[in-house]
Copies of this chain bind each other. A is one copy, B any other.
C-alpha cells in the first residue's frame, strides 16, 4: 500500500511521515500529492495571521477546541513560522497547544519553519494542506506570523482569512492594518479585556469605512452580509464586509461568536461563487510556483560547469552588471 492509500485509510503514522516528505519536497511526497489530488477540495481552509503579541496561537487553540468539542469536526493546524528562515524550529507552539488537544485522534497539529528559498514556504504549505484535505480533515487552520509577503502568500491559500489584532501594540501598526484589510475576511480584536480595546476597534472601523465608502451595510442578526446589489462594481451580487469580532482567547470569550462569523463567511463564499474563485486562485498560484522552481532547477543544470561562477566573479569585480550577467548566462547577448 502506498503512503497516499494509508493516509486515505486514516493511518495517522503514515500521515505524519507523508507530511515530512512533502515539507522536505521529497520525491515520495510528490507522487503521493499526485495520488491524493483528486480527493482534495473538500476542507474549509482558515488562515489566521497577525503581528507578534496578538495571541494568535492561543486563539487558534480555542477555535480548534470549539470545532472539536462543539461541532465534532476533524481539525488540522499548520503553524507556519517564518521567524527562522535559516535553521527552522518552532516547536514551542505545538507543545503549548498539545496540552489541550493531545491524544485527540481527530486533531493533527504540524509546525513548519520557512524554507530558505523564496516561494518555498507557500509551496510546502500548499502541499501539506492538500494532504490534510485529502485525509478527510474538515477544517485546516493555517496560522502565520506577521504581515510580510510570505504571510500574504499563505493567506492566499485560505478560504477565510482572520487577521488578529490586539490593543496597545503601538502607533505604527496603522500602516500594517491598511495592507491587512485587503486580505482580511474577519478582523479579530483579541485580548479584548485590555485597555485600549475601544481605540483599536474604532481604528479598524474607520479603516473599513474608508475601504467601503459608498456602501450601506444591511445589518441583520449580527451579519454583515449585504442583501442588496452593491453600489460599487463587484464580482457577485453579494458583498462581504469584514466584521470585527472581540475575543479573549485565554478565557475562551468570544470564540462562539467568532465561529458564527466564520460560518457566515462560508455561506457568503458559497452563495456568491467566491469559494470557486478562491479555489481557482490557490491552484493557479501553486502551479505557477511549481513552474518557477522547475525552470530555475533546469536552468542551473544546463549551465556549463564553472560558467556561472566565472560570470558572477565579473559582477563582483563590477566589470559586468547583474543585468548583463543574466543576459550572458541566458545566451541572449
Whether the pair B176, A166 counts as a contact (CB closer than 8 A) is no
Whether the pair B149, A147 counts as a contact (CB closer than 8 A) is no
Given A173-B52, A175-B90, verify A118-B81 contact (CB < 8 Å). Answer: no
Question: How big is the A interface, by class?
Answer: 35 or more
Whether the pair A291, B121 counts as a contact (CB closer than 8 A) is no
Q: How far is the CB of A55 from chain B (nearest CB, A)?
A: 7
Whether the pair B175, A37 counts as a contact (CB closer than 8 A) is no
- Chain B binder among A223-231, A232-240, A281-289: A281-289
List residues 141-200 of chain A with CB under 8 A from any CB of chain B: 145-153, 166, 168-180, 182
Q: How far is the CB of A249 from chain B (nearest CB, A)?
A: 12
- Chain B binder among A68-76, A98-106, A254-262, A310-318: A310-318
* Residue A304 interfacial (CB < 8 Å): no
Determine the main DSSP class of A at the interface with B. helix
Residues of B within 8 A of A171 (CB): 53, 55
* Residue A93 interfacial (CB < 8 Å): yes
The 17 sampled A-B contact pairs (Cβ below 8 Å) are: A51-B146, A52-B147, A53-B169, A54-B170, A56-B172, A87-B182, A89-B179, A90-B175, A118-B122, A146-B148, A149-B150, A280-B316, A283-B312, A287-B312, A290-B325, A292-B295, A292-B296
Binding site for B on A (CB under 8 A): 30, 33-34, 37-38, 40-41, 51-57, 81-87, 89-90, 92-93, 114, 118-119, 121-122, 145-153, 166, 168-180, 182, 279-280, 283-284, 286-287, 290-292, 294-296, 298-299, 311-312, 315-316, 318-319, 321-326, 329-330
